[in-house]
Amino acid sequence: MVKALPKDGHIYTIENNPQHSRIAKKNFSAFNLSDKITLIEGDALEKINELSAKAPFDMIFIDADKSSYPKYLDWAESYIKQDGLIVADNTLLFDTVFLESPPKEVSEKSWHAMREFNDRLSDEKKYFSILIPTDEGMTVALKLTQVKNQGQRNV
């Protein structure tokens, strides 16, 4: 991601596990990336509110607790640029998301959350999106520009 940044680009990332934070910070420093990446420590659902001041974002990557994906999407929809990308990992939910009911190996809450998440991103009026069938499932959704008063869109 850093390699794809423009010169003045910046990555903000949120991590609630102190051990993961420590390792990530160590790596950012070892690769001289500390001025390109800001790691915010704490729970993503709380900390995204602090990030709203930095909006709009070119890209928002969602890869945290699965049961909160619709809440992350509520926030991402408000703070992504028109024509920006919302990307999310694990959207096949370990090959269970397309089953008729939640299997016992995933939590019911996560299963319903991921179905809602995928359903919302498949809205062609709002997004041009694809769920790439990697092992885990990776959704890439381009937020479409709304053309006012015409109910049409430009990509």
The residues of the shown chain that bind ligand SAM, judged by CB under 6 A, are 14-17, 20, 43-44, 63-65
Q: How far is the CB of 98 from ligand SAM (least distance, A)?
A: 21
Q: How far is the CB of 149 from ligand SAM (least distance, A)?
A: 39
Residues 6+ apart with CB under 8 A from 116: 69, 70
Residue 27: φ, ψ to 5°: -65, -45
Question: Residue 149 corresponds to which amino acid?
Answer: N
Lookup: tokens for 52: 């709203």
Q: How far is the CB of 78 from ligand SAM (least distance, A)?
A: 18
Cβ distance to ligand SAM smaller for residue 63 or 77: 63
Q: How far is the CB of 65 from ligand SAM (least distance, A)?
A: 4
Cβ distance to ligand SAM smaller for residue 71 or 126: 71
Q: Residue 56 has what DSSP assignment?
A: P
Cβ distance to ligand SAM smaller for residue 88 or 144: 88
3-state helix, strand, coil split of the chain in percent (to 5) is: 35, 30, 35
Are 109 and 52 in contact by the 8 Å Cβ rule? The answer is no
Cβ distance to ligand SAM smaller for residue 17 or 82: 17
Helix (H), strand (E) at residue 41:
strand 37-41
